[in-house]
């Protein structure tokens, strides 16, 4: 079905560690290593909780909430959801289902602990079957998406319309034109006499921004400072002004907040200077 709700079930792509765990989870499942798949499902949940907690508090959960820099998954999920519920509207909704979400996370952790991919045991471990593994993977991914989407849509942790941030047409004053693509992707273009800005959006997150600085208003020799300042508007807040030069027309920057590298590449064309601002990680 074209409008099946599962067409946008792709994990919210905002943190490399989380999406990497998801990729490894799927890889192990395809290889019929079901215990390892559940192991990575648990790791994905743990990475998500730690990311959400850090975004809200600016602190590491295992240091602030744990003991000797260690925190159990149950306690981690509990404190993360508590922190998140305090910041969103209708927080009584999240408080009401908090215990159930925590039980899902903790339950997946327990299944992992019973499998052979976990710690050594005196007695033999019971391996999960394919259907059980698929169900737990789906629960883990849905729970991660639930926490990440609440974080991004309700708490405004990152400015909108930056690479790796949430796209907002209204914040662009609805001045652009939207072009639908496949699998829920779309492009959005805002034009004026001096600058064209082109957004590539996937699953509500800006993947790439392409900016054309038009002639005769811009060129690399005389406009580099103003071009760099404009480019910064589309980068996460923690890396603005910190670009590392890889040559005259290529820059990279690492965001600790998102655990991602970003690239800025400049190209001189007949139209003017074209800047490609993108997340260079491949998940």
The answer to whether residue 16 sits within a structural domain is yes
Q: Are 235 and 110 contained in the same domain?
A: no
pLDDT tens, position by position, 59-86: 899 999 999 989 988 889 888 888 777 6
Q: Are 207 and 128 contained in the same domain?
A: no
Indicate the pLDDT class of residue 254, thresholds 50, 70 and 90. Answer: confident
Q: pTM score > 0.85 for this model?
A: no
Per-residue pLDDT, 109: 65
pLDDT tens, position by position, 48-60: 999 999 888 888 9
Q: Of 247, 234, 228, which Cα lies nearest the Cα of 198?
A: 234
Per-residue pLDDT, 221: 85
Q: Which domain holds residue 85?
A: 5-154
Q: Are 140 and 212 contained in the same domain?
A: no
CA separation for the pair 34, 16 (Å, rounded): 23
Q: Are 103 and 208 contained in the same domain?
A: no
CA separation for the pair 142, 137 (Å, rounded): 8
The number of distinct structural domains making up the chain is 2
Give the SS3 label for residue 241. coil
CA separation for the pair 121, 112 (Å, rounded): 13
The answer to whether residue 183 sits within a structural domain is yes
């Amino acid at each position: 079905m074209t409008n099946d709700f599962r067409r946008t079930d792709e994990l919210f792509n905002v943190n490399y560690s989380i999406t990497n765990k998801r990729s490894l989870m799927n890889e192990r499942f395809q290889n019929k290593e079901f215990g390892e798949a559940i192991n990575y499902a648990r790791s994905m949940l743990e990475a998500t909780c730690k990311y959400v907690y850090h975004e809200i508090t600016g602190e590491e959960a295992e240091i602030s909430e744990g003991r000797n820099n260690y925190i159990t998954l149950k306690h981690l999920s509990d404190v993360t959801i508590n922190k998140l519920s305090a910041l969103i509207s209708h927080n009584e909704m999240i408080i009401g289902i908090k215990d159930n979400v925590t039980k899902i996370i903790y339950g997946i952790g327990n299944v992992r602990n019973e499998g052979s991919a976990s710690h050594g045991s005196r007695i033999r471990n019971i391996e999960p079957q394919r259907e059980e593994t698929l169900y737990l993977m789906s629960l883990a991914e849905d729970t991660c998406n639930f926490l990440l989407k609440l974080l991004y849509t309700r708490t405004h942790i990152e400015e909108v319309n930056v690479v790796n941030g949430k796209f907002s047409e209204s914040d662009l004053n609805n001045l652009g034109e939207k072009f639908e693509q496949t699998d829920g992707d779309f492009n959005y273009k805002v034009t004026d006499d001096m600058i064209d800005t082109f957004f590539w959006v996937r699953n509500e997150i800006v993947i790439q921004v392409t900016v054309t600085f038009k002639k005769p208003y811009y060129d690399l020799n005389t406009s580099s400072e103003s071009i760099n300042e404009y480019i910064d508007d589309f980068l996460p807040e923690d890396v603005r002004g910190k670009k590392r030069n890889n040559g005259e027309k290529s820059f990279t920057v690492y965001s600790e907040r998102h655990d991602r590298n970003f690239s800025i590449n400049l190209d001189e064309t007949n139209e003017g200077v074209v800047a490609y601002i993108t997340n260079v990680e491949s998940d």
